[in-house]
């Protein structure tokens, strides 16, 4: 039995109506991201607290309060992290001389605070004064850095729960058992769900980005087209992820637990809220095996660094492979009802 558009369109329309008739769920989908933007912009731009993350090239100068050291082999690598606001300052103690050098980012208030902390604790009568250097880069505020991660985080639940949990619920309610007795094919059913969810995701992403700009204006250094191209590809891979989880489960409660079990670590390890600089190597490696990390990192490079699709090609390849693999695996494993 071949693919028929009429059957596909019937499921597509039904899924769309189910979504927009649930006013509470639809409203929360659009309101929640804006609440996070407002909350984080207030919390991190008014009275920042916590440790200063300082890159270190050379030996640590002993115990320094309020500083978290992040070691690097080369000055060039450390300066690149400072330039992109992933560390607050850079201290070089292996200059071949007796005078340590501290580098700061002229556009970062946290960088200036880190410099004062280092100067107060390392400049003593018995020790040489710090030599100060600065790099000049475009200012990137925390909320500017956060926005791509926020957009990605919103996709995680909309994609995985919007595809995975819904299919499991329909299987539990016996809807899939009835559909199995109709001429509808699995390809038509699954593709209708995927396309319906992609329309919601793209529309939601556009509204969130536009609304965030109205609340907290940001600069898009790269192309909006490139930004949303990466966004759409990331949405597809995460929809495929939800499809794999939903392929055979019958309990929506168990499916919800599994989805939360997998998505929360993915969010925390994908640099949605904070940089992973200074984390163990295995954490960085694990993060880079997740579609969400590649999606967030690529969008962040496009938005804050002006990168094009060529500069984020490795993430694009990963997302394409993940989309094909996860969607194909979910389709192969899919069952109308437990057998």
pLDDT in tens, 65-75: 888 888 888 88
**Confidence at 231, pLDDT banded by 50, 70, 90:** very high
In a domain, 247, yes or no: yes
Total structural domains in the chain? 2
Q: Which residues of 72-90 are buried (b: 16+ CB within 10 A; e: fewer)?
A: beebeebbebbbbbbbbbb
Is the residue at 69 inside a domain? yes
pTM for this predicted structure: 0.74
**How far is Cα 165 from Cα 314, in angstroms, rounded to an integer?**
30
Which pLDDT does position 124 carry in this prediction?
Answer: 64
Residues 6+ apart with CB under 8 A from 147: 37, 209, 212, 218, 303
Look up the domain containing 107 and give its range. Answer: 52-135
Same domain? For 213 and 304 the reply is yes
pLDDT at 256: 82
Same domain, 98 and 159: no
| Stretch 46-62: mean pLDDT | 72
Indicate if 105 and 202 belong to the same structural domain: no
**What residues does 101 pair with on adjacent strands?**
92, 131
Whether the predicted pLDDT of 138 surpasses 70: no
Q: Do 239 and 209 fall within a single domain? A: yes
Cα torsion at 25, 153, 217, 114 (round to 10°)? Answer: 140
Instruction: Indicate if 161 and 307 belong to the same structural domain.
Output: yes
Question: Residues 226, 307: one domain?
Answer: yes
Give me the pLDDT at residue 48, please.
45
Residue 339 included in any domain: no
- The contacts found for 204-209 with CB under 8 angstroms, 24 or more apart, are 204/29, 204/30, 204/154, 204/158, 205/151, 205/154, 205/155, 205/231, 205/235, 207/30, 208/30, 208/33, 208/34, 208/150, 208/151, 208/154, 209/147, 209/151
What does the alpha-carbon distance between residue 339 and residue 330 come to, in Å, rounded to a whole number?
A: 16
Residues 175 and 285 in one domain: yes
Overall residue count recorded for the chain in this entry = 339
The structure tokens 């529309």 sit at 203
Rounded mean pLDDT of the chain?
82
- The percentage of residues in the chain with a pLDDT greater than 70, rounded to a whole number, is 84
Q: Are both 230 and 251 inside the same structural domain?
A: yes
- Domain boundary, last residue among 105, 135, 165: 135
Which of 114, 135, 156 terminates a domain? The answer is 135
What pLDDT was estimated at residue 313? 95
Kindly state whether residues 145 and 192 are assigned to the same domain: yes
């Amino acid at each position: 039995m071949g693919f028929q558009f009429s059957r596909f369109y019937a499921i597509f329309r039904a899924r769309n109506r189910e979504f927009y008739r649930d006013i509470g769920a639809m409203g929360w989908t659009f309101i929640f991201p804006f609440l996070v933007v407002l909350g984080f912009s207030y919390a991190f731009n008014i009275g920042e607290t916590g440790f200063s993350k300082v890159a270190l090239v050379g030996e640590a100068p002993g115990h320094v309060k309020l500083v978290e050291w992040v070691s690097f082999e080369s000055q060039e690598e450390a300066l690149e992290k400072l330039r992109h606001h992933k560390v607050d300052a850079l201290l070089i103690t292996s200059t071949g001389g007796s005078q340590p050098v501290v580098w700061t980012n002229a556009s970062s208030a946290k960088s200036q605070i880190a410099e004062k902390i280092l100067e107060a604790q390392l400049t003593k009568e018995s020790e040489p004064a710090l030599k100060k250097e600065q790099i000049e880069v475009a200012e990137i505020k925390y909320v500017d850095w956060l926005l791509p991660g926020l957009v990605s985080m919103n996709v995680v639940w909309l994609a995985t729960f919007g595809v995975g949990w819904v299919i499991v619920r329909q299987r539990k309610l016996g809807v899939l058992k009835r559909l199995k007795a109709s001429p509808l094919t699995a390809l038509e059913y699954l593709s209708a769900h995927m396309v319906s969810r992609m329309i919601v995701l793209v529309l939601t992403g556009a509204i969130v980005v536009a609304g965030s700009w109205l609340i907290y204006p940001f600069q898009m250094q790269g192309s909006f087209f490139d930004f949303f191209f990466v966004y759409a590809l990331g949405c597809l891979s995460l929809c495929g992820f939800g499809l794999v989880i939903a392929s055979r489960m019958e309990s929506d409660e168990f499916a919800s637990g599994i989805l939360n079990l997998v998505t929360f670590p993915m969010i925390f390890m994908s640099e949605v809220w904070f940089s992973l600089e200074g984390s163990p190597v295995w954490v960085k490696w694990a993060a880079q095996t997740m579609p969400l990390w590649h999606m967030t990192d690529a969008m962040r490079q496009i938005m804050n660094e002006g990168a094009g699709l060529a500069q984020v090609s490795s993430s694009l390849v990963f997302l394409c492979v993940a989309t094909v693999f996860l969607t194909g695996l979910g389709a192969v494993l899919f069952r109308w009802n437990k057998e």
